[in-house]
Amino acid sequence: MIALTGVEKTFGANRVLRGVDLQIARGSSMVIIGGSGTGKSVLLKCVLGLVSPDAGRITLDGEDVAHAERDAFLARFGMLFQGGALFDSLKVWENVAFRLLRGARKRPKAEAREIAIEKLRRVGLRPEVADQLPGELSGGMQKRVGLARAIAAEPEIIFFDEPTTGLDPIMAGVINELIREIVVEMGATAMTITHDMTSVRAIADNVAMLHGGLIRWTGPVADMDATSDPYVQQFIHGRAEGPIASVR
C-alpha cells in the first residue's frame, strides 16, 4: 500500500501541492484526474523520490520512502513518463530492455531482446520497430515504447503518466486494456494520470481528483458519476462553466 499524508511541494512562488492525502491499496488501480498544471506529475515524482516534498510523509507498505534503500525501492517500480523520456541514443529495444541489460537483473542480450520485442508487441508495436531509434518514431509510438519499458521488468508498482494522450482511439483502447490486464493478471498496483474519461472508466478501481493542490474527491469509480462534488462533475462532463476557472 502507498500512503501519502499531508504532502506539500512549492516551486518558487508556485504552491503546487498543499497537503495531499491519498491511499492506494496493493493490487488496485488508482486513477488521478485534474486539470493540466495541477501537479499530478509532480505527485508521482514525489512518490518516486525524483522530487523531494517540502512537507508530509509518503510510505510504501508502512516504510517511509525517504529512508528506503534506493535501489531495492526503485526496483519495485516502473514509470511511464508524460513525454516518454526515451533515451534517444539507444535503439528502441535497448530502451525497453534497459533494466534487463544492466545491473542486478541482467540477462543475456538475446534473451533481453526477445523480452523487449514481446513487450513491444503487447503495446501494439511491430518487431521491426525494435531496431529503430526513438527519434524515428511518431509521438504516439514513442509513448508506447515508454510504456513497454515501464512494464518490461514486470514491476509490482507501475505509474503511468498520461498513457493514452496522443494516441488514436483504437490504440488508446488497446493501452487501456493492457493496463487493466497488468493490474488484474499480474496483481500490480497502478497509479495512472489521465484526462481521458474513457480511460478512467476502463482502468480505474478508484479515482482521485487533484485540484488546488489538494485531493478534492476520491472514491470508487462507480461512485464518480453520482457524486455531488461540483468540481468532479464539471471535470467529467468537460463543462466550461463551473467552479474550476478556465484561465489557470
Partner 1 sequence: MTLTSPLAAIGRAFLALLASFGRIVIFAGQVFVLAPRRPFYLRECGQALVQIGWFSLPVVGLTAVFTGGALALQIYSGGSRFNAEAVVPQIVAIGMVRELGPVLVGLMVAARVTSSIAAEIATMKVTEQIDALVTLSTNPMKYLTIPRVLAGTLTVPLLVGIGDIIGVMGGFMVATGQLGFNRAGYIQNTVDFLTLPDIASSLVKGAAFGFIATLIGCYQGMRSGRGAQGVGAATKTAVATASVLILAANFLLTSLMFSQ
Residues 25-54 that bind ligand ADP (CB under 6 A): 34, 36-42
Using CB atoms within 10 Å of the CB of residue 225, give its burial: 0 to 12 exposed, 13 to 18 middle, 19+ buried: exposed
Q: How far is the CB of 199 from ligand ADP (least distance, A)?
A: 15
* 198 and 12 Cβ atoms separated by less than 8 Å: no
Which 3 state secondary structure label does DSSP give 209? strand
Nearer to ligand ADP, 9 or 113 (CB): 9
Helices (H) and strands (E) in the chain, counts: 10, 10
The reply to whether 165 sits near Mg ion by the rule CB under 5 A is: no
Which does residue 131 touch among ligand ADP, Mg ion, partner 1, none (CB within 5 to 8 A, set by kind)?
none
**Cα separation, 86 vs 210, whole angstroms:** 27
Between residues 90 and 214, which has the closer beta carbon with respect to partner 1? 90
Q: Report phi then psi at 126, rounded to 5.
A: -70, 155
Q: Which of residues 58-97 bind Mg ion (CB under 5 A)?
A: 82
**CB closest to Mg ion, residue no:** 41
Q: Shortest Cβ distance from residue 211 to Mg ion (Å)?
A: 14
Q: Which is nearer to ligand ADP, 40 or 216 (CB)?
A: 40
**Amino acid type, 107:** R
DSSP assignments along 4-55, one per residue: EEEEEEEETTEEEEEEEEEEE-TT-EEEEE--TTSSHHHHHHHHHTSS--SE
Question: Which residue lies nearer to Mg ion by CB, 80 or 130?
Answer: 80
Distance (Å, whole) CA 84 – CA 247 = 27
Q: Which is nearer to ligand ADP, 170 or 245 (CB)?
A: 245
Of 28, 29, 38, 41, the one binding Mg ion by CB under 5 A:
41
Residues that bind partner 1 (CB under 8 A): 45, 48-50, 71, 74-75, 77-79, 81-83, 85-88, 98-99, 102-104, 149
Q: Catalog residues that contact ligand ADP under the rule CB under 6 A.
A: 11, 14, 16, 34, 36-42
